[in-house]
């Protein structure tokens, strides 16, 4: 299954659960960032996702900065 399809399905699921607009907006933003990363790693299908790719993504998040130039908090990284 394509990762972008899974993301759309997950966001639809959150809507059905009645999550707030802000939760949906933030989740959509974070999952798009993740999907973009996966695309650069040439991971298109959910079946191709493995612990090595997730570890690389965690490293990517560790070095990300906020709009204020500060590192992401551990909670945001999680």
**For residues 50-77, average pLDDT:** 91
| Tally of domains within the chain | 1
Range of the domain at 60: 3-77
Directed axis angle between helix 51-62 and helix 21-40, to 10°? Answer: 110
Residue 47, both tokens: 């079946």
Q: Is the pLDDT of residue 72 over 90?
A: no
pLDDT value for 77: 82
Closest CA to 14 of 3, 25, 30, 4: 25
Interval 43-58: pLDDT, tens: 999 999 999 999 999 9
H helix runs in 1-78, sequence order: 3-16, 21-40, 51-62, 74-77
pLDDT value for 75: 86
Closest CA to 74 of 51, 61, 55: 61
Model confidence at 60, in pLDDT bands (50, 70, 90)? very high
């Amino acid at each position: 299954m394509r990762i972008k399809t899974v993301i759309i399905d997950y966001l639809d699921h959150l809507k059905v659960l009645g999550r707030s607009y802000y939760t949906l907006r933030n989740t959509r933003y974070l999952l798009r960032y993740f999907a973009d990363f996966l695309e650069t790693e040439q991971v298109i299908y959910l079946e191709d996702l493995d612990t090595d790719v997730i570890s690389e993504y965690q490293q990517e998040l560790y070095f990300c900065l906020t709009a204020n130039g500060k590192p992401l908090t551990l909670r945001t990284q999680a």
